[in-house]
Amino acid sequence: MFRGLITALVTPFTDGEFDARAFEKILAFQIENGSHGIVPCGTTGESPTLDEDEIRTIFDMSVAAVKGRKIPVIAGTGSNSTRKSVAMTEMAKQCGADAALIVVPYYNKPTQDGMYAHFKAIHDAVEIPIVLYNVPGRTGAEMSVDTVCRLAELPRIVALKDATSDMSRTTAIKSRVKGGFSILSGEDALAGACLAQGGDGCISVTSNIAPQECADFQNAWAAGDIQKFQALQARLMPLHKALFVETSPSPVKYAASKLGLCSDEVRLPLVSASPAARSAVDRAFAESGLIMERDSATLRRHG
């Protein structure tokens, strides 16, 4: 159902407040450069620090920006409270989102039966497609292959974002679930490996700053252009690595600030990228040539 390059959007802040003007710029940058979908208010969007009014505004702006463009909005609505997750998922539906991205409950560390009951409760309460999000490095609990496959039997659970770094799970799940169930990499550096194992795309952090290149990477695989696919993999890999030298999204927000998309401001308990992380991002930019290309494109548009 979902495939290709889907960007997990950063949420821009200025002086502690949501920056709507910068978010408009971010949305336009994604649409103009070929993203196949967007995820507002995911982990990269610092969802745990956003209040309800901000989340509603971000959902509304995202839906309005892609209206008529056939680019799905997969709204981040998960939390460690089932009741809150239901309410946020209902909000996403009311705002016109195409699906909800819902993370395994963090901190609580539910059992596999608890995970199943959590997602089934949301599924039964709100008629919207659901993308499961398995990221044990952040939640402290890993959803098993059996639980994913069990949940995939429910009609509106249509995809999985998997950030376990275990690519064997992709093949194991694909061999057991219904046709059309999508598996999306949650790790930019493993996006190619996910595709090779039968996956369908990537929910990406790197595409905040390189949407065209990340979309071209996915398109090259779909077209069977392995030479282009491998060349883009090599070009993007330094960025994939640099953007995770510290807790995301601090490095990618610094990178976005270099492109003039937004400030590098994050909300506590996160802090801005350290000097060492900034240097790593700068080196990755230099290796990829992205800054030079973006500057040249700006000159062509405004020269």
Is-contact 210 237, C-beta < 8 A?
Answer: no
Nearest by Cα to 248 from 302, 203, 215, 199: 203
Asked if 106 is an active-site residue, the reply is: no
> Exposure string (b/e) for 134-148, b if CB count within 10 Å is 16 or more?
bbeeebebbbebebb
Asked if 67 is an active-site residue, the reply is: no
Of 161, 174, 253, 254, the catalytic one is: 161
The strand pairing partners of 122, in sequence order, are: none
Alpha helices per DSSP H over 140-197: 145-152, 168-174, 191-196
Identify the helix (H) or strand (E) that includes residue 131: strand 130-134
Of 133, 174, 253, 254, the catalytic one is: 133
Structure tokens at 14: 């200025």
Tell me which residues are annotated as active site.
133, 161
